[in-house]
Structure 1
Amino acid sequence: MAIQLDVYQWLMILIAIISAVVATIKILWARIEENLNNNFQVVQNKLEDVAKQSEQNHADIRSLERQFYKFQIDLPHAYVAREDYIRGQTVIEAKLDALASKIENVQIRQGINQK
Structure 2
Amino acid sequence: MTILCLSFLFLINTGGKTSTAMLPAILLLAWVFEKVRFLRIPIVIGGVGAFNIFAIGAAVFRPLGDFINELGIDATFTNRADIWRFAVSELADRPLTGYGFKGFWQTSELVHS
Higher relative contact order (CA 8 A, sep 6+): 2
Larger radius of gyration: 1
**More helix per residue:** 1
